[in-house]
Amino acid sequence: MLMLDPRPVASAGMGGIQRIFMVGIGGAGMSGIAEVLAGLGYTVSGSDQIESPVVARLRSLGVVVHIGHQAEHVEHADVIVVSAAVPEDNPERVAARSLRIPVVPRAEMLAELMRYRFGIAVAGTHGKTTTTSLIAAILGEAGEDPTFVIGGLLNQTGANAALGEGDYLVVEADESDASFLHLQPMMSLVTNIEADHMEHYGGDQTRYSAAFDAFLHNLPFYGSALMCLDDRGVRDLLPDVSRRVVTYGRHADADYRVENYRAEGLSCRFDLVRPGDDDVLSLTVKMPGLHNALNAAGAAALCCELNINDQAIIQGLAEFGGVGRRFADLGLVRWREHSARLIDDYGHHPTEVAVTLKAARDAFAATRVVMVVPTATASPVPETISTSLYRCSARTRC
Annotate 130-157 with b (16+ C-beta within 10 A) or e (fewer): bbbbbbbbbbbbbebbbbbbbbbbbebb
Catalytic residue among 35, 141, 172, 175: 172
Is the confidence at residue 391, as pLDDT, over 60? no
**Does the pLDDT value for residue 367 go beyond 80?**
no
172 is a catalytic site residue = yes
Q: Is 264 a catalytic residue?
A: no
Query: What distance lies between CA 295 and its chain's CA centroid?
Result: 11
Question: Whole-angstrom Cα distance, residue 159 to residue 41?
Answer: 19
> What's the rounded mean pLDDT across residues 193-210?
74
Least-confidence region, from 20-24, 82-86, 297-301 = 82-86
Q: Give residue 324's pLDDT.
A: 54
Least confident of 135-144, 183-192, 206-215, 346-355: 346-355
Give the three-class secondary structure for 67: strand
The predicted pLDDT at position 7 comes to: 43
The pTM assigned to this predicted structure is: 0.83
Tell me yes or no: is domain 117-318 CATH 3.30.420.40: no
Confidence (pLDDT) at 10: 42
The band of 373, judged by pLDDT with boundaries at 50, 70 and 90, is low
The closest of 99, 126, 122 to 110, measured between CA atoms, is 122
Q: Which residue has the higher pLDDT, 256 or 339?
A: 256
One CATH from 2.30.110.10, 3.90.870.10, 3.90.190.20, 3.40.50.1980 for 328-397? 3.90.190.20
Average pLDDT over residues 192-208: 73
Stronger pLDDT, 225 or 364, i.e. the higher one = 225
- Which is catalytic among the residues 128, 147, 191, 194? 128
> Catalytic residue at 286?
no
Least confident of 74-78, 118-122, 274-278: 274-278
Q: How far apart are the C-alpha atoms of 281 and 318, rounded to whole Å?
A: 12
- Residues 178/200, Cβ–Cβ less than 8 Å: yes
Nearest 5 degrees, angle CA 268-CA 279-CA 298? 45
What span, in angstroms and rounded, lies between the C-alpha atoms of 219 and 196? 24
**Is the sign of the CA dihedral 87, 65, 57, 341 positive or negative?**
negative
Distance between alpha carbon 38 and the CA centroid of its chain, in Å?
21
Query: Considering only 65-69, 234-238, 335-339, which range has the smallest mean pLDDT?
Result: 335-339
pLDDT of 329 reads: 64
Contact 59, 35 (CB under 8 A): no
pLDDT at position 156: 73
Identify whether the C-beta of residue 248 lies closer than 8 Å to the C-beta of residue 304: no
Instruction: Give the pLDDT score at 263.
Output: 87
Q: Which sequence spans correspond to the domains of the chain?
A: 19-104, 117-318, 328-397
Is the torsion defined by CA of 12, 110, 232, 237 positive or negative? negative
**Of the ranges 35-44, 48-57, 112-121, 156-165, which one carries the lowest mean pLDDT score?**
156-165
Predicted confidence (pLDDT) at residue 313 exceeds the cutoff of 90: yes
Instruction: Give dist(CA 207, CA 213) in Å, integer.
Output: 10
Range 62-71 burial, b when 16+ CB lie within 10 A, else e: ebebbeebee
The fraction of the chain above a pLDDT of 90, given in percent, is: 59
Residue 72 in this model has a pLDDT that exceeds 90: yes
In this prediction, residue 155 carries a pLDDT of 74
What gap in Å lies between CA 345 and CA 329, rounded to an integer?
Answer: 9
- What is the pLDDT of the chain when averaged over all its residues? 84
Tens-place pLDDT, residues 253-309? 999 999 999 988 778 899 999 998 678 999 999 988 898 999 999 999 999 999 999
Structure confidence at residue 222 as a pLDDT band (50, 70, 90):
very high
Of 83 and 323, the structure prediction assigns the larger pLDDT to: 83
The CATH label, of 3.10.20.600, 3.40.50.720, 3.40.50.150, 3.40.190.10, for the domain at 19-104 is 3.40.50.720
List, in sequence order, every residue forming a beta bridge with 279; answer none if it has no partner. 274
Catalytic residue of the set 112, 125, 129, 247? 129
